[in-house]
């Protein structure tokens, strides 16, 4: 672990450097507070443990503490302020400035090592807390089984995309995708196989759609996609995915399961009246299009575009499209 030693006294820096090297640290040296601040700002992985002298030129240890604590981070360094002042008011000033600990000169090696041990334990607890918080944040907006964004997260991102669509007067495709006859997969092969089918379906979804498209699990065997796109492109994009699902069976050991997907798409134009751009209404339109796809024989894409004059359902080469 890197440890920063900031002290304008060459002899004291050398002594502390040798002690830390003997304890397995990788010391980083600064002769004044300004140099120490540059190290913390410019290093890709700055030191996690800091030993700062109180009295330094350019920026003293107390002000350096304050500057470091003004940085908004979930992974702050552990700071030990080192000084010849031992009076209680100085200890209070150091702790109020953001120091984690305080040690007086001349520094006793045993006491310093013990205090550094406290710092290491604190940093380890902080690391574990950050990992736990990251996992909680991930699970809050991701589906545990598929790893895709969950319904709430996609709806939140959809709000942002709607604002962009209105601002730029562009078009957006909101699609609900449903695996056909998925219940029979669970009933025939069991839920563990069904779960693996869902996971593979999600992987194909992520691989087929573009990096800037939003894909997620809507619930059960239903998935959702939000794509900046125009009406013609939307059918091509979704029908390509439909074709991939149809032509690529789920394979595991000796098991091969043919799958298909029905897709309902709502095309939103940024110029549409605001009343037509409400999220619940858009999702209801996509769901209604999915219902029509299911009742048109499944394994097809049904597109709803309020800016297009309805026309009868017609066959495509690899599926059926219905626009209205």
Catalytic residues: 221
DSSP string of 41-84, one letter each residue: HH-SS--SEEEEESS-SSS-HHHHHHHHHTS--SSPPEEEEEES
Angle, CA of 62, 63 and 65, to the nearest 5°: 65
DSSP state of 300: S
HSE-CB for 146 with a 13 A CA cutoff: 28
Rounded to an integer, what distance in angstroms lies between the CA atom of residue 240 and that of residue 181? 20
- The residues, ordered by sequence, that sit 6+ positions from 97 with a Cβ below 8 Å of its Cβ are 62, 63, 65, 66, 69, 81
CB 102 within 8 A of CB 131: no
In this structure, the strands spanning 101-104 and 171-179 are unpaired
């Amino acid at each position: 672990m890197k440890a920063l030693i900031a002290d304008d006294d060459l002899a004291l820096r050398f002594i502390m450097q040798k002690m830390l090297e003997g304890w397995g640290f990788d010391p980083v040296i600064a002769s004044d507070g300004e140099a120490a601040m540059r190290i913390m700002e410019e290093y890709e992985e700055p030191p996690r443990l800091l030993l700062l002298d109180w009295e330094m030129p350019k920026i003293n240890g107390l002000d350096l503490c304050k500057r470091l604590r003004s940085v908004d981070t979930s992974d702050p360094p552990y700071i030990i302020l080192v000084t010849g002042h031992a009076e209680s008011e100085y200890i209070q000033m150091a702790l109020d400035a953001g120091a984690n600990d305080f040690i007086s000169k001349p520094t006793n090696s045993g006491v310093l090592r013990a205090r550094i041990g406290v710092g290491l334990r604190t940093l380890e607890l902080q690391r574990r807390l950050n990992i736990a918080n990251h996992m909680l944040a991930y699970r809050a907006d991701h589906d545990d089984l598929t790893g895709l964004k969950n319904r709430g997260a996609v709806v939140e991102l959809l709000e942002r995309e709607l604002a962009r669509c209105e601002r730029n007067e562009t078009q957006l495709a909101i699609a609900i995708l449903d695996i056909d006859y998925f219940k029979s997969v669970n009933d025939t092969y069991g839920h563990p196989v069904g779960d693996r089918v869902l996971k593979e379906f999600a992987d194909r979804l992520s691989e087929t759609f573009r990096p800037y498209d939003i894909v997620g699990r809507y619930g059960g065997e239903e998935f959702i996609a939000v794509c900046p796109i125009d009406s013609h492109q939307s059918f091509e994009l979704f029908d390509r995915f439909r074709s991939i699902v149809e032509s690529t069976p789920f394979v595991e050991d000796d098991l091969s399961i043919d799958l298909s997907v029905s897709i309902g798409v709502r095309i939103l134009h940024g110029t549409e009246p605001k009343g037509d751009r409400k999220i619940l209404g858009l999702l209801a339109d996509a769901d209604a299009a999915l219902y029509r796809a299911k009742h048109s024989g499944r394994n097809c894409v049904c597109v709803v575009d309020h800016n297009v004059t309805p026309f009868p359902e017609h066959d495509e080469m690899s599926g059926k499209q219905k626009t209205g």
